[in-house]
Amino acid sequence: MNTAHELRDLGILISVTEPFNTSTPTGRASLHLLGTMAEWQREVNLEARNEGALKAVKEGKWVGSGLPPFGYDFDPKTQRLKINEDEARVVRMVFEWLVSDGLTVYQIQKRLNEMKIPTKFDRIERKKKTGRGWWQPLTED
Quick check: 18 and 34 in contact, CB under 8 A? yes
pLDDT of residue 141: 42
Which H helix or E strand runs over 90?
helix 85-99
pLDDT of residue 19: 65
Q: b/e per residue, 51-90, with b = 16+ CB within 10 A?
A: eeeeeeeeeeebeeeebbebbbbbeeeeeebeebeebeeb
Q: In this structure, what are the phi and psi dihedrals at residue 86, rounded to the nearest 5 degrees? A: -60, -45
CA distance 88 to 72: 7
Report the chain (141 residues): mean pLDDT per 10 consecutive residues. Answer: 74 66 79 88 94 89 86 91 95 96 92 89 69 57 42
pLDDT of residue 14: 62
Q: What is the pLDDT of residues 70-108, one digit of tens each?
A: 999 999 999 899 999 999 999 999 999 999 999 999 999
List Cβ neighbours of 57 (8 Å cut-off, separation of 6 or more): 63
CA distance 27 to 41: 21
Q: Taking the model in full, what pTM does it have?
A: 0.55
DSSP label at 76? Answer: T
CA distance 133 to 118: 10
